[in-house]
Chain A
Amino acid sequence: QQQVKQSPQSLIVQKGGISIINCAYENTAFDYFPWYQQFPGKGPALLIAIRPDVSEKKEGRFTISFNKSAKQFSLHIMDSQPGDSATYFCAASSGGSYIPTFGRGTSLIVHP
């Protein structure tokens, strides 16, 4: 499988701050980039996703920024809240690849 490199591995942010998680990919055939959020004891759940025809997608406090030329995309969490504390996984897939490639995950802790 092609790699998706995710960083940082862990992140600690104060309440109200901005959390930023970055991912980089290699396969230029990837055309769908979802982010999943996983709370302890639960399975990952889709948070937000983007296609490469747009450079940014925003849903509430969550924004994906996409840089096609650099083959990078990032998740920004504005006004981070303690309830955002979770593990976040980026992923990438293409129409010809039925198995999404996941990053290794980022453990986010938001301190009150």
Chain B
Amino acid sequence: GAGVSQSPSNKVTEKGKDVELRCDPISGHTALYWYRQSLGQGLEFLIYFQGNSAPDKSGLPSDRFSAERTGGSVSTLTIQRTQQEDSAVYLCASSLLGSTSGNTIYFGEGSWLTVV
């Protein structure tokens, strides 16, 4: 597609349920990032994928969060046993190369998660 595509755009879930958020990066982009943005807050790094390398999971806030990237393309962020503090916008981004120096990161429009 022309841009980074994320689904669902909005998700309301009950506390304790699991949710899956999907990201379809720009075709040909080897690097994929997940960020979290709470209301009125900055961009919190969650996880990074680059090609076939092991992902950098250093930003995941707890073991309830996990992500995978299949075939070097589509990625799924899974949040298990959701809590109210998980409510946020989850942004996916991709870039052409692993190094961000000089490369533009393209963000999707985000998946708005509300845990009630």
Question: Do the two chains bind?
Answer: yes
Residues of chain A whose beta carbon lies under 8 Å from any beta carbon of chain B: 1, 31-32, 34, 36, 41-46, 49, 51, 89, 93-100, 102-105, 107
Q: How far is the CA of A46 from the CA of B93 in the complex (A)?
A: 12
Q: Is B68 an interface residue (CB 8 A)?
A: no
Q: Is B91 an interface residue (CB 8 A)?
A: yes
Min CB gap B10→A, angstroms = 10
Q: How far is the CA of A105 from the CA of B75 in the complex (A)?
A: 26
Using known A-B contacts A43-B107, A99-B48, A102-B42, determine if residue A94 contacts B101 with beta carbons closer than 8 Å.
yes
Q: Is B62 an interface residue (CB 8 A)?
A: no
**Of listed A45, A51, A98, residue having the most chain B CB within 10 A:** A98
Interface residues of B in 92-116 (CB under 8 A from A): 93, 98-102, 104-110
Q: Which partner residue on chain A sits nearest B33 by CB separation?
A: A99
**Sample (17) of A-B pairs whose CB atoms are under 8 Å apart:** A32-B100, A32-B102, A34-B105, A42-B109, A43-B108, A45-B106, A46-B105, A51-B102, A93-B99, A93-B100, A96-B99, A97-B100, A99-B33, A99-B100, A102-B42, A105-B43, A107-B40
Chain B residues in 8 Å Cβ range of A44? 43, 91, 107
Across the interface, do B99 and A95 meet the contact criterion of CB distance under 8 Å?
yes
Q: Is B4 an interface residue (CB 8 A)?
A: yes
Across the interface, do A98 and B99 meet the contact criterion of CB distance under 8 Å?
yes
Q: How far is the CA of A49 from the CA of B33 in the complex (A)?
A: 20
